[in-house]
Amino acid sequence: MNTLGIESSCDDTGLAIINSDGQIINHITSSQHEIHAKYGGIVPELASRDHVKKFIPLLQVLLEKSAMTMDDINMIAFTNGPGLLGPLLAGASLAKTLGWSNNIPTIEVNHLEAHIYSPMITEKNLKPPFISLLVSGGHTILSSVDDNFHITTLGSTLDDSAGECFDKIARKLNLGYPGGPEISKRSELSNNNKFIFPRPMIKSNDYNFSFSGLKTHVINTIHKLELTDEHINNISYEVQSAIVDTLISKSVEASKNLDIKNIVITGGVSANQKLRKDFSCIKKCKAYFPDVKFSTDNGAMIAYAGFLKTNSSDFKKNFTIKPKPSLTL
């Protein structure tokens, strides 16, 4: 049984096919970064239009690369939210049209759940229970996932997400979009950091985060400077350290308090190399990350979450494949 995954919640058009063992046959992602870069953020109407333009050519390439036709697809999984309405509608329309015209059942996938399980695509031994830290452009959520795949939120950001904090500070530093990778690159060039930024809510005794105060603190610092390349490198270094320290501190606290050793870190910010390196140095926990190419939005994680859902006993109990409706005029 092959599952086609369709991702279009924001600014990445992602398609993938996985087989009945949950192995990826092929995946393809088209990013819209160049389209949105000049606006410093995503323009929803442009995002929707680009998904519509790219879907069919990308699907053709994916099927060709996989030596398949739609006859080889047995299930279509698509992102049903959260995300931008236009891009989500574009993906749902594609999934439903392909499903209806080829008599293939479709399954809705929650985008955040897809991120949370994305390390399992490549880490075949990884299974819940685990602590999940989802750090993306729109969310920063700490949760626990039990062995029945039930997710309990422990805390989340009270304002900006970690990714948003990277993006907004990068914009102020005249770095490109998305900001996370740019800040990460510039922080590697820092050799004499003199800035000290706060680690927000690190002692708040709960599992919530807050990044808007850090953002304001950094922006106020930038306003007081005649910004040089050295400043940009050093500010980038300290911003990255402040965000990474905060994320790790709360996750390790949750792991210790709930006595769950495995921590799964996902979403676009999980591509950050310092976050990966610092987590790997913590001996009390075992950190798992998705393959870097599956950190940001992609079709493989949607196909994989669809695969997990269709293989769950709850789903099998309640799901029947409806026959294709006949058209009578």
What does the binding site for Mg ion look like in residue numbers (CB under 5 A)? Answer: 136, 297
* Residues 251, 142 contacting (CB under 8 angstroms): yes
Q: How far is the CB of 122 from ligand ATP (least distance, A)?
A: 17
CA end-to-end distance (rounded Å), the chain: 34
Q: In the complex with ligand ATP, which residue's Cβ is closer, 63 or 197?
A: 197
Chain centroid to CA 88: how far?
15
Least distance (Å) between residue 138 CB and ligand ATP: 3
DSSP label at 161?
A: -
For residue 73, how many other CB atoms are within 10 A of its CB?
A: 19
Q: Which residue do the tokens 């799964």 mark?
A: 264
Q: What is the closest distance, in whole angstroms, from the C-beta atom of residue 167 to ligand ATP in the complex?
A: 5
CA–CA separation, 57 and 175 (whole Å)? 32
Binding mask 152-191 for ligand ATP (x = CB under 6 A): -----------x--xx----------xxxx--x-------
Minimum CB–partner distance for residue 160 and ligand ATP (Å): 10
Q: Give me the least distance between CB of 264 and ligand ATP, in Å please.
A: 14
Q: Which two tokens stand for residue 265?
A: 């870190």
Report if residue 136 touches ligand ATP, rule: CB under 6 A. Answer: yes
Q: What is the CA radius of gyration of the chain?
A: 21
Tell which residue, 165, 145, 147, 144, has the closest CA to residue 155. Answer: 144
- Nearer to ligand ATP (CB atom), residue 1 or residue 292: 292
Applying CB under 6 A, among 59, 95, 269, 301 the residue interacting with ligand ATP is: 269
| Binding residues for ligand ATP restricted to 287-316, rule: CB under 6 A | 296-297
Number of residues that bind ligand ATP (CB under 6 A): 24
- Pairing status of strand 286-288 against strand 106-110: unpaired
Report CA-CA distances (Å) from 224 to 75, 217, 220. Answer: 56, 11, 7
Q: What is the DSSP letter of 207?
A: S
Torsion angle, alpha carbons of 285, 116, 44, 37, to 10: 40
Q: How far is the CB of 58 from ligand ATP (least distance, A)?
A: 17
User: Site for ligand ATP (CB under 6 A): which residue of 4, 6, 10, 254?
Assistant: 10
Q: Which of 5, 91, 137, 290 is the binder for ligand ATP (CB under 6 A)?
A: 137
User: Which does residue 248 touch among Mg ion, ligand ATP, none (CB within 5 to 8 A, set by kind)?
Assistant: none
User: What residues make contact with ligand ATP under the rule CB under 6 A?
Assistant: 9-10, 83, 111, 115, 136-139, 163, 166-167, 178-181, 184, 267-269, 271-272, 296-297
